[in-house]
Amino acid sequence: MKTLIAHVVAAALLSFGLAAGAAECVYPHAPDTMPDGATSTKDIMLAAKKGYDQYNADMAVYLDCIKTEHEASAPKIDSSMSPEKKKAVQKQIDDGEQRFVAKYDSAVDEVHAIMERFNEQIRSFNAKIKAEKEKSDH
């Protein structure tokens, strides 16, 4: 799990330049199919890995994009504002931050869940290969 988070963060940092110039953040979708590790071939699993790696990278770009978008659109408190205006702007900032955190966390939860399901299929595939190897060694 820590590796996945590190990959998401690394991809987000690498993609900053791409996301910063984007006019709109595009929410990525996971590949349409999940391979069955117990029955899939190596070629199927490798092709699926490419798709899931791309999804993971696309999600990192999306997360960076929404962060950049949030930071750019957040209202600012100015020292010349009245106390009432500062309070109103602070409420806008707090509300915007809550929406951003919920959106960000939801996307992170989704990518973690999907990548964990894919990792389960990788473990299943590896167990199948190990069992086939042990069977052929006897």
| 80-135 confidence digits (pLDDT tens) | 999 999 999 999 999 999 999 999 999 999 999 999 999 999 999 999 999 999 98
Mean pLDDT across the chain: 87
pTM, two decimals, is 0.76
Contact criterion met (CB below 8 Å) for 121 and 33:
no
| 63-91 confidence digits (pLDDT tens) | 999 999 999 999 999 999 999 999 999 99
Supply φ then ψ for residue 63, to 5 degrees: -60, -40
Instruction: Using the predicted structure, report yes or no on whether residue 7 has a pLDDT greater than 60.
Output: no
DSSP conformation class of 15: T
Rounded Cα distance, 34 and 111, in Å: 14
| 43-68 confidence digits (pLDDT tens) | 999 999 999 999 999 999 999 999 99
- pLDDT value, residue 1: 46
Cβ atoms within 10 Å of 16's Cβ, excluding its own: 15
- pLDDT value, residue 17: 43
